[in-house]
A = this chain, B = another copy of it.
Amino acid sequence: MNTVYTFGGNAPHDDPRQKDKTVTGGKGANLADMASIGLPVPPGFTITTEECTRYLTHGESFSDELRAAVAQALGHVEQTVGKRFGDAADPLLVSVRSGARVSMPGMMDTVLNLGLNDETVQGLASASGDERFAWDSYRRFIQMYGDVVLGLDHGLFEEALEIAKEDRGYFADTELSAGDLKELVGEYKTIVAAERGEPFPQDVNEQLWGAIAAVFDSWDSERAKVYRRLNAISAEWGTAVNVQAMVFGNMGDSSATGVAFTRDPSTGERAYYGEWLINAQGEDVVAGIRTPQYLTKAARENAGAEKPSMEEAMPEAYAQLARVFDLLEDHYKDMQDIEFTVQQGTLWMLQTRSGKRTAKAALKMAVDMVGEGLINEQTAILRVDPMALDQLLHPTLNPDAPREELGTGLPASPGAASGKIVLDADTAELWSNREEDVILVRVETSPEDIHGMHAARGILTARGGMTSHAAVVARGMGRPCVSGASGVSIDLASRRLRIGARELKEGDVITLDGATGQIMAGRVPTIEPELAGDFGVLMEWADKHRRMGVRTNAETPADCKTARGFGAEGIGLCRTEHMFFDASRISAVRAMILAEDETARQSALDRLLPEQRSDFADIFRTMAGLPCTIRLLDPPLHEFLPTRDEEFAELSDSLGLGVDHLKRRANELHEFNPMLGHRGCRLGITFPEIYAMQARAIFEAACEVSTSDEPVVPEVMIPLVATQKELAILRALVDRVAEEVFADTGSRVDYLVGTMIELPRAALMAGEIAEEARFFSFGTNDLTQTALGVSRDDAARFLGAYVDKGIYARDPFVSLDVDGVGQLVELAAERGRATRGDIKLGICGEHGGDPESIAFCEKVGLDYVSASPYRVPIARLAAAQAALRSGG
């Protein structure tokens, strides 16, 4: 097995190890790949990752075999280029770069122009006919080598450079003449000698082996170790070293350098796209000192630019580049991001890789490439990042508009919105009814704010994480939301607030960008989303290739309609309690909760029944013919109770009970840990009349709406079950009410009774629970809270530190903790199926809209995922990708 692989020129590229990233690293494999398809790659060689491991485990020494192999490989480079390494007359210069299996910060990056010394610099000057170029290259080499190989403080070199310019009254580096640079090289060498205690190495082989050792050593640098630990990269992988002949884009006007994309990465259009500079080095394009020129004539004309395009200025090199573009797309079957250099009329390829792109471009390219026959539908599906679709579904800020940032929070729900600040939900509703755009700003939101959140264009909270109440509800509603903006402080008494350093008052206009978390002053113009044809085409392909169904979490007809528009195939979670917060009902709800006896409670429930019935009827109509999973009342009752004195006074009037009495009752309902309190099916067990009312409303609505063409099949879901018996008791109650309604109405609908699996015990006992359940819906929000012992509402204080330290790779409320919570889901699915082969399995936690979690659901074999309306397309695409990746 080779320790060194050559590429470029007449090197053979047929050893499969050479294109194996684990052997030659990402960069080495890629260079070999380009060379093997005949692209003009500067010749060079790669020392394998295995040699890195050998070096580090053998006292940081090189074997004689390796030294021999490098010498031989260097010979290949010399022969191909026609120059000799260290040749005083016309020296070969090389670059040395690290290249691990995956791109990894913390390792040595690059040393350019290696091979220059006091002698060869003269040779380079005469061979290139450009003395300034030669001395500038030498200067840069000493600085780079001093910094990354010798470990000297690079500030020392910067300082010397600045002094040199100041002394001469220059402003730009380019003003330095060859003579100036020669002097500067002298100063640089003095710095090296003083700092290092030895002169700058003049022996080019010493330079080379020093750089190779530096690359290997950098694998064990502290920064690299930290990065590896955080990203589960094994220390044994090692890094490869790439040594490559230098090419120069700055050898006069027949030389150039540029970066390009084979298609427009912003729009996805099939047009070469890029920038270049004549007589420049790669870093000059990036540094922005000179304004780069357009690549194509069309682009230049389109922009009305003066300076010639490469197509016009260097037609031969451009034609060669265009051929390379086509070759690369055909080879890699994807849009490429390219770096190239033209040295004295000859094109050299320095890098190619799949290019980053906007969501819109990704979509267009994927669909176009299928049309072009370049890729098939499956590949197209896998090409688009599902999360990126989010950008396409919400209004976005006009990137060209000026913006004044006041502060930032967490990007909790995407989209952009502008409006007047309102500080409570009632004001939000009031102003919104006056046709004003409002942004609801709260310390944090609670279920009582729902109507205000609905009325607002966007939501900003000072507290709460990515999965706080505000964030979850906003995503469900498709409202932009910035949460946990710690720079926001609110003084309700004076109706004023502070965002960062700025004092504002209710009514002032701000703009939120829910995709970045930015809060801006005034109104920043937005761009409406275009759900272009490509979107529909890709979604259609996705639907064809996915196995799992995609439902939505929704409870209002508006949300249901949105979700159907996005392709939802049913409701996976209808949270009935959201209907309880409606202003017209809350007093009946409160009367029910505070009832002193069952009669009083029943009379309040009787008032709620017709309201709930009409809610469900609306939903069944909207979702006509599609399955609807309706969860019976879940939150602890005290969430519905008043908190403010006015509300207590109002309630006291309407119930005819003293304020003190009501406050005492409310206080009695207080819980230390409401998440683990008297909620879910525990309400149904202790107050069966509440669940009975809800079941009646469901069945009456179903009987009313159901038709033979579009039958309503309600799926009644019992929350927070931990034991078979809870479900048995409540299922019997639902069955009894169903039969009563069927008898009363003379009609009958099919229905299922099932449960959420959202407690570890429920997962463990799934085999027994399945005896009573026709379906399981994994409530992974609560399952995560209980399995990890983490309250979503309180996690902000430590979860950030946890993700930073890699304790959890990602926020476990955003992406399912597959290792831990995943075990419970898998085990429950297995045990549930063992008891009831045809049990329907779905997920309705927030994870149902997260691609990584969806991939897990596919693996476990769930029947469907359910996501908030705006996440439905993401879920459809992610489900298709998951099916394709698992070989479905």
Contacts of A789 in B (CB 8 A): 675-676, 680, 720, 722, 758-761, 782, 786
Whether A794 sits at the interface, judged by CB under 8 Å, is yes
Q: Do A760 and B787 touch (CB < 8 A)?
A: yes
Which parts of A772-829 form the interface with B (CB within 8 Å)? 782, 785-791, 793-794, 797-798, 801-802, 805-808, 817, 819-821, 823-824
Q: Do B794 and A761 touch (CB < 8 A)?
A: no
Which parts of A239-267 form the interface with B (CB within 8 Å)? none
CB distance from A532 to the nearest CB of B (A): 43
Stretch with Cβ within 8 A of B (4 or more), from A149-157, A159-167, A723-731: A723-731
Q: Do B760 and A786 touch (CB < 8 A)?
A: yes
Partner of A824, one of B680, B764, B797: B764
CB distance from A770 to the nearest CB of B (A): 15
CB distance from A809 to the nearest CB of B (A): 10
CB distance from A127 to the nearest CB of B (A): 56
Whether A674 sits at the interface, judged by CB under 8 Å, is yes
Q: How many angstroms from the CA of A790 to the CA of B793 in the assembled complex? A: 17
Whether A671 sits at the interface, judged by CB under 8 Å, is yes
Chain A: residues with Cβ within 8 Å of the partner, total of 48
Whether A171 sits at the interface, judged by CB under 8 Å, is no
Partner of A673, one of B673, B761, B808, B821: B673
Partner of A807, one of B671, B672, B680, B725: B725
Whether A677 sits at the interface, judged by CB under 8 Å, is yes
Q: Quick one: given A722-B788, A807-B723, are A793 and B673 in contact (CB under 8 Å)?
A: yes
Residues 663-685 of A, flagged 1 when their CB comes within 8 A of B and 0 if not, give 00000000111111110101001
Q: Do B794 and A673 touch (CB < 8 A)?
A: yes
Contacts of A824 in B (CB 8 A): 760, 764
Contacts of A808 in B (CB 8 A): 723
CB distance from A829 to the nearest CB of B (A): 15
CB distance from A840 to the nearest CB of B (A): 23
Whether A433 sits at the interface, judged by CB under 8 Å, is no
Whether A686 sits at the interface, judged by CB under 8 Å, is yes
Q: How many angstroms from the CA of A678 to the CA of B722 in the assembled complex? A: 25
Q: Do A788 and B761 touch (CB < 8 A)?
A: yes
CB distance from A800 to the nearest CB of B (A): 9
Q: How many angstroms from the CA of A379 to the CA of B818 in the assembled complex? A: 50
Q: Do B798 and A682 touch (CB < 8 A)?
A: yes
CB distance from A165 to the nearest CB of B (A): 42
Q: Do A805 and B725 touch (CB < 8 A)?
A: yes
Residues 494-519 of A, flagged 1 when their CB comes within 8 A of B and 0 if not, give 00000000000000000000000000
Partner of A821, one of B675, B761, B820: B761
Partner of A671, one of B725, B791, B802: B791
Choose among A672, A729, A793, A819 the residue with the greatest number of B CB atoms under 10 Å from its CB: A672
Can you name the residue of chain B whose Cβ is closest to the Cβ of A821? B761
Q: How many angstroms from the CA of A671 to the CA of B673 in the assembled complex? A: 9
For the complex of A and B, the 7 pairs showing the least CB-CB separation, nearest first, are A676-B791, A673-B791, A761-B820, A760-B760, A677-B794, A759-B789, A672-B793
Interface pairs (26), CB distance under 8 Å:
A671-B791, A672-B675, A672-B793, A673-B674, A673-B675, A673-B791, A676-B785, A676-B786, A676-B789, A676-B790, A676-B791, A677-B797, A682-B802, A685-B801, A685-B805, A723-B808, A759-B788, A759-B789, A760-B760, A760-B787, A760-B824, A761-B788, A761-B820, A764-B787, A764-B824, A765-B820
